[in-house]
Amino acid sequence: MTSTIRTLTDDDAAGLEQAGRVSAGRGEDPGEPTREGAAARLSRELLSDEALDELIARAGEGQVRLTGPGGFLPELVARVLERGMGAELSDHLGYERGDRAGRGSPNSRNGSTPKTLRTEVGEVPIETPRDRAGTFEPRLVPKGTRRLDGLDAMIISLYSGGMTVRDIQAHLARTLGTELSHETIANVTDAVAEEVKAWQSRPLDPVWPVVFLDALVVKVRDGAHVVNRSAHIAVGVDTDGLKHVLGIWVQQTEGAKFWAAVCAQLANRGVRDVLIACCDGLPGLPEAIEATWPHSVVQTCVVHLIRAANRYVSYEDRKALSAALRRVYTAADADAAETALLELADSPLGRKYPAAVAVWQRAWERFIPFLAFPPAVRRVIYTTNSIESLNYQLRKIIKNRGHFPNEDAVIKLLWLAIRDIEDKRARAREKDRGKPANQRTAPGRLVEGAVVQGWRAALNQLELLYPDRLAGQIN
């Protein structure tokens, strides 16, 4: 085995850690180092504790490194692949190497061809066996393959975490000693474009009790300039109280035309009714929703109104203003709420901050539908926090990217990031499985498939309000 005189470094550890994450993503148990996975069981059978102790000792003494050029893992991968392809060739020829049955055969072994595979443990040089007739097609490492699937999965994982193509290129070279071109990495990330399109056009349920809409500001290159664009994310609550990301759209045109196209796309995907649409004063959206689903209620997010009002208020007065506004949005009906808002406007606090009161006055017609709903429904539509918590996670990823080359790149990254966040949380929950409830630390689902708290009570009240529209939709 080739070895390199080098100690086990942080880069080696980072490479192994990343490789472990990729393995978990390919179906192995994501708990403690894939303890229950088939691969882990096989490794325990093949590698004794004594052999592992010797490997650790040699790595600690600098006699061998684990990943990268000349490392133990690349060499192990190479031997497994070469032996596997040798077995495939024997099966193809119909006889083993050195077997007398092969004498006089019309086809035989014809040496090998060197090839370097790029993998999640570094570059792996292998010898691909050949046959004289040129009919052998290895399945383990097909012809033309230069990367194993694990490396592609690693690239996608790094990209979904917010790293740019150049960042990924540098990271792989530093941690694994694998040199990939900018175009190769870009092609790997572009390969998910078809998945994104399929997800963005998938059929949807016909009736959605609640749909939340919110926006992220992203920087996109437009010719020679970088401009701000709004990436809108829609999260729907189905009749079972489960949240789903319905789609992602990057706004390129003025409000009314853009939102008309978004609503038309949702309708074409099967959405024939939305009971309540909760958003934050997006221009043109209410009109587009009402034109597409005439009986929908468009509701301004109450928490957004509170925050918008507090922008005009000094820090020491915000608690008092929030308490005064609470009397408005917890009022029994629109008349009581209007009275509470007028009292706030006439109070010393209201006269001190008239702009804060004006925020509510301007949004009044889109706020008061909230007051017509019973308490259980109010608690569901009170805020778009379910989508804001998602956006908070996405903003951290977007921040690393600077700007995007186009709108499709924005949608691709956001979709990958959502999938990556949910996958990480799922692996953490799997690790906590079997532990007592007070020892579980894994977070729940962020959005996709998360359950709305208090949904059964809200659904009962919605069914009383909209018996015809929900008929036949509740499981």
The first and second tokens of residue 119, run together, are 């993998």
pLDDT tens readout for residues 401-458: 778 888 888 888 888 888 888 888 888 888 888 888 888 888 888 888 888 888 999 9
Confidence of residue 315 (pLDDT cuts 50, 70, 90): very high
Q: Which residues contact 425 (CB under 8 A, 6 or more apart)?
A: 442, 443, 444, 445, 446
| pLDDT at residue 181, rounded to an integer | 75
The first and second tokens of residue 126, run together, are 């292998």
pLDDT above 90 as % of the chain: 29
Confidence of residue 139 (pLDDT cuts 50, 70, 90): confident
Instruction: Select the more confidently predicted residue: 17 or 424.
Output: 424
**Rounded mean pLDDT of 231-247?**
92
**What is the distance between the alpha carbons of residues 467 and 456, in angstroms, rounded to a whole number?**
15
| pLDDT at residue 201, rounded to an integer | 92
| pLDDT at residue 293, rounded to an integer | 94
Give which of 268, 267, 251 is closest to 211, Cα–Cα.
267
pLDDT tens readout for residues 58-95: 777 777 777 667 777 777 777 767 777 787 788 888 88
Give which of 270, 245, 285, 274 is closest to 386, Cα–Cα.
245
**What is the distance between the alpha carbons of residues 408 and 417, in angstroms, rounded to a whole number?**
14
Residues in a beta bridge with 349: none
Among 117-131, 264-278, 387-401, top mean pLDDT goes to 264-278
Confidence of residue 239 (pLDDT cuts 50, 70, 90): very high
**Rounded mean pLDDT of 236-262?**
88
**What is the distance between the alpha carbons of residues 153 and 151, in angstroms, rounded to a whole number?**
5
Instruction: Select the more confidently predicted residue: 73 or 356.
Output: 356
Which amino acid type is present at position 95?
A: Y
The first and second tokens of residue 263, run together, are 């609503």
User: Where does residue 430 rank: exposed (0-12), middle (13-18), buried (19+ CB within 10 A)?
Assistant: middle
Instruction: Select the more confidently predicted residue: 46 or 341.
Output: 341
- DSSP string spanning 163-180? --HHHHHHHHHHHT----
Is 70 exceeded by the pLDDT of residue 20? no
**What is the distance between the alpha carbons of residues 245 and 390, in angstroms, rounded to a whole number?**
10
The first and second tokens of residue 265, run together, are 């796309």
Report the sign of the C-alpha dihedral through residues 101, 107, 111, 113, in that order.
negative
The first and second tokens of residue 354, run together, are 């008239």
**What is the distance between the alpha carbons of residues 334 and 232, in angstroms, rounded to a whole number?**
30
Is 80 exceeded by the pLDDT of residue 255? no
Backbone angle region of 70, left / alpha / beta, with phi > 0 → left and psi within -120 to 50 → alpha: left
Is 60 exceeded by the pLDDT of residue 367? yes
The strand ranges marked E within 120-224 are 122-131, 207-222
Backbone φ, ψ for residue 353 (5° rounding) = -130, 70
Q: Which residues contact 323 (CB under 8 A, 6 or more apart)?
A: none
pLDDT tens readout for residues 268-299: 999 999 999 988 777 888 899 999 999 999 98
Instruction: Select the more confidently predicted residue: 395 or 40.
Output: 395
